[in-house]
Amino acid sequence: MYRELALKSVKLSVSGRGMVYVCLYALASSMYIIFSPLSIVYINMVVLSLLAIVTSILSDKKTLHQYLSVLILSGMRKRSIFFCIRTYISVRIIPLALVYTICFSYLNLYLVAIVTDIIFVLFTLYSAYPIYKVFK
Amino acid sequence: MRRIVAIVRNVWKYYSISGRMIAVLKNVNLHVYRGEIVCIHGPSGAGKTTLLKILAGLERPDQGEVIVDGYNLTLLDDDGLASLRTNVVSYIPQDYGLIDDLTVYENIEIPLMIVGLGGEERRSRIHGLLEYMGLLGRENVKVKHLSGGEKQRVAIARALAVTPSLLLADEPTANLDWENAKKVLEMILRISKDFETSIVIVSHDPRVLEYAHRKYLMYDGVLKEAS
């Protein structure tokens, strides 16, 4: 069940319009980081990337709302719904995490890359509950 | 002797609106027999949808008791209510409860995935449902490209996928013209006969009452059986 629902979440996340926004943002911010390698730029871009993810989710809020409604109506447990939301967000984060990890590694900023990835993981884990509450 | 599938006993429900407690359901009593269609008619804001959500385990009553297929909903926790929606009760909301970006097949597949059916069994069950609902050949069409009547049939197919004892339909004809509405209501009649599923319909359209075995009227949170 989990594998199939994870695939369904991935499909909805990838096919949403917000995914295009995230990819474009990742591309733009990587160029900015490479051409302006300043610590204030890194921090700004990481914070803005979290906002970009929130924006991408809001741009697909109708689909996400419908998805959560169907899961609730079909009798899915709250814990499993959180799993689906986390999968959905993780897919949105992957392009950003990938681009930032490559950029920071290219600039020999491995510690910054690790911290950024930890921030993304924490964001994925802790944003499921508020998203569930908002869309429910 | 006819078997009772759902009992609503002395149910009260309050909502807090700008700091004031408003009673949305006032001492509501209802029973639904196996295989019958019950229609609850009343104006918007009378509390019909709230009652349906309580029967579906999506909301809890503040007072009273709700028993569906032997399960006392007031004693179940959130996971228990979720299990009830998996096997016993299906709810069709007014906006159909479908995902526009997925195909007809994928929409019907979701409840079957949650139940844990294997791929082959899912395929044959969905094929049977599509045939029954007259949707064969439309399985790969995205829901956003369907007409209102077709969406309603897909919503019914999704709700029927797990063969529930109680099917709850919130304003199933609200977004349809009368020709399509009649087709949907005839389909609901056929379901109650073929599957012996108990069906509760709430509607503000009085024409829907013709299709019910028993009728209730709801006004300002008070439910009364109509003759």
Phi and psi at A47, nearest 5°, equal -65, -45
Q: Are A76 and A6 within 8 A, CB to CB?
A: no
Quote the CA–CA distance of B188 and B191 in Å, as a whole number.
Answer: 5
Q: Best mutation site among A59, A61, A74 for testing chain B: the one with the most B CBs within 10 Å?
A: A74
Looking at residue A36, what is its pLDDT?
84
Q: CA-nearest residue of chain A to B95?
A: A66
Looking at residue B99, what is its pLDDT?
94
Looking at residue A136, what is its pLDDT?
65
**Cβ <8 Å between B100 and A62:** yes
Residues A75-92: pLDDT tens digits?
A: 889 888 988 998 999 899
Looking at residue A116, what is its pLDDT?
83
The DSSP-derived string for A68-132 is HHHHHHTT--HHHHHHHHHHHHHHHHHHHHHHHHHHHHHTT-HHHHHHHHHHHHHHHHHHHHHHH
Res. A1 pLDDT band, cuts 50 70 90: confident
Looking at residue A103, what is its pLDDT?
84
**Cβ <8 Å between B110 and A12:** no
Q: Is B114 on the interface with A (CB under 8 A)?
A: yes
Looking at chain A, the whole-number percentage of residues with pLDDT higher than 70 is 98
What is the dihedral sign for C-alpha B109, A77, B58, A123?
A: negative
Question: Smallest CA–CA separation between B154 and chain A, in Å?
Answer: 13
**Cβ <8 Å between A74 and B114:** yes
Res. A100 pLDDT band, cuts 50 70 90: confident
Low-confidence ranges of chain B (pLDDT < 70): 1
Whether A3 has a pLDDT exceeding 90, the answer reads no
Looking at residue B39, what is its pLDDT?
94
What mean pLDDT is predicted for residues A111-121? 83
Q: Are B197 and B30 within 8 A, CB to CB?
A: no
Looking at residue B50, what is its pLDDT?
94
Q: What angle do CA B165, B147, B126 make, to 5 degrees?
A: 40
Residues of chain B with Cβ-Cβ distance to A63 below 8 Å are 99-101
Residues of chain B with Cβ-Cβ distance to A135 below 8 Å are none
Looking at residue B1, what is its pLDDT?
63
* Residue B202, beta-bridge partner list: B40, B170
- pTM here is 0.88
**Cβ <8 Å between B85 and A15:** no
Looking at residue A33, what is its pLDDT?
85
**Cβ <8 Å between A75 and B111:** yes
Residues A21-65: pLDDT tens digits?
A: 999 999 998 888 888 888 888 888 888 988 999 999 999 999 999
Residues of chain B with Cβ-Cβ distance to A66 below 8 Å are 97-100
Whether A121 has a pLDDT exceeding 90, the answer reads no
Phi and psi at B223, nearest 5°, equal -110, 130
Please name which of B152, B172, B53, B195 lies closest in space to residue A72, comparing C-alpha atoms. Answer: B53
Looking at residue A127, what is its pLDDT?
75
Candidate from B84, B90, B98 with C-beta closest to A66:
B98
Residues of chain A with Cβ-Cβ distance to B114 below 8 Å are 1, 5, 71, 74-76, 80
Quote the CA–CA distance of A98 and A12 in Å, as a whole number.
Answer: 20
Candidate from B86, B102, B107 with C-beta closest to A75:
B86
